[in-house]
């Protein structure tokens, strides 16, 4: 890994939030390609999701009040994700009681489902993460949702309705913590609390089959999985609770591993159009990396910038701004969003 002259970049600005602050959840910021920015707030005994426009991020101005929506059962939110499925953005909220799929502006609940797995009395099968999946062979897009007991559900959009199926059940006792899909290889990478990354060919006509399983030493949990978009083969970027990041091919080969942070990673986000990813950590640094090289043999991960933030902890990241050249951070329990302007 090499550092560029732009490293140790510290010029970030604050955008004051009129209401609510991000809660302490991993990866607690999501965006639909830079138009809306959404995070979860679990304070005041009523979990909610808050949405801000790109105008608010760029200029500190918003035509309307930030949108806030809540759900009737009051279940705690564990993950909020924008997913592009069949050319439409969907906002997927994973909670302690189920998985909720909304339209882009969260004005309409499209589908809600829970786990049918029977647990001991008083225990709930939390939903923990979601991603866009791709049907092997056809490339048809669907929503994959994971649970704390290792279930993976596939939610297939059939016309105007969703059809839910249990696609896979992990055999070992581990929670699904993160996932990401790759349209080129038509695979889905799933990370769990035991430190494994399992890569699936997703055939929704039969039970899914794992094509590769990538372990870690000492069972360090997976925190986040993203997709590095390259001209040839894409790579999965996997962040771990010990501060490391691995690049893994869709075939399950680890092609690079870096010590991105000295402490646990709170979030990883990948640029939707360029081979760039950003991470944040309890070590107070936000780092941005670029993946260079056209083949595995000459692959390299270069540090573009490293910014130390003081007095607060970043728990979510997303690229946005004009041309998706800026980075937005969500600080925990702090009524500001943090913006690194035009860093790319």
Beta bridge partners of 227: 236
Taking only Cα atoms into account, the Rg of the chain, rounded to an integer number of angstroms, comes to: 19
Alpha carbon of 292 to those of 107, 147, 163, 307: distances in Å? 40, 34, 40, 21
Q: What residues contact 159, with CB distance under 8 A and at least 6 apart?
A: none
Q: pLDDT tens, position by position, for the chain (344 residues)?
A: 333 334 445 678 999 998 899 999 999 999 999 999 999 998 777 899 999 999 888 887 766 678 899 998 889 999 999 999 999 999 999 999 999 999 999 999 999 998 877 676 666 789 999 999 999 989 999 999 999 999 999 999 877 778 888 889 887 778 999 999 999 999 999 999 999 999 999 988 777 889 999 999 889 999 999 999 998 899 999 999 999 999 999 999 999 999 999 999 999 999 999 999 999 999 999 999 999 998 888 899 999 999 999 889 999 999 998 899 999 999 999 999 999 999 99
Instruction: Sketch the domain layout of the chain as residue ranges.
Output: 24-263
Asked if residues 22 and 311 have their Cβ atoms less than 8 Å apart, the reply is no
The per-residue pLDDT for 63 is 63
CATH topology of domain 24-263: Methylamine Dehydrogenase; Chain H (2.130.10)
The per-residue pLDDT for 163 is 87
Give dist(CA 224, CA 192) in Å, integer.
Answer: 9
Give dist(CA 239, CA 278) in Å, integer.
Answer: 10
């Amino acid at each position: 890994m090499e550092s560029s002259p732009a490293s140790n970049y510290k010029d970030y600005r604050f955008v004051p939030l009129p209401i609510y602050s991000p809660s302490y959840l991993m990866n607690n910021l999501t965006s639909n390609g830079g138009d809306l920015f959404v995070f979860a707030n679990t304070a005041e005994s009523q979990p909610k999701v808050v949405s801000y426009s790109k105008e608010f991020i760029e200029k500190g101005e918003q035509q309307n009040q930030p949108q806030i929506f809540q759900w009737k059962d009051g279940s705690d939110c564990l993950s909020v994700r924008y997913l592009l499925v069949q050319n439409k953005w969907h906002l997927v909220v994973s909670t302690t009681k189920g998985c909720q799929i909304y339209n882009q502006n969260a004005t309409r609940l499209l589908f809600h489902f829970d786990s049918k797995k029977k647990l001991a009395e008083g225990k709930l099968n939390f939903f923990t993460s979601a991603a866009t999946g791709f049907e092997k062979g056809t490339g048809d897009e669907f929503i994959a949702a994971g649970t704390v007991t290792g279930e993976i559900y596939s939610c297939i959009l059939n016309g105007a309705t969703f059809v839910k199926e249990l696609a896979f059940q992990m055999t070992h006792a581990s929670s699904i913590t993160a996932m990401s899909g790759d349209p080129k290889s038509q695979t889905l990478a799933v990370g769990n609390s035991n430190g494994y990354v399992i890569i699936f060919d997703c055939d929704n006509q039969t039970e899914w089959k794992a094509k590769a399983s990538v372990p870690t030493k000492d069972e360090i949990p997976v925190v986040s999985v993203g997709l590095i978009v390259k001209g040839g083969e894409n790579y999965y970027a996997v962040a771990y609770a010990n501060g490391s990041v691995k690049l893994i091919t869709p075939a399950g080969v680890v092609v690079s591993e870096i010590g991105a942070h000295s402490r646990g990673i709170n979030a990883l986000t990948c640029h939707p159009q360029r081979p760039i990813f950003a991470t944040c950590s309890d070590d107070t640094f936000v780092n941005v990396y670029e993946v260079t090289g056209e083949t595995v043999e000459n692959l390299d991960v270069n540090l573009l910038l490293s910014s130390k933030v003081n007095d607060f902890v970043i728990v979510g990241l997303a690229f946005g701004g004009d041309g998706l050249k800026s980075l937005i951070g969500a600080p925990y329990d702090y009524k500001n969003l943090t913006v690194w302007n035009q860093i790319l």
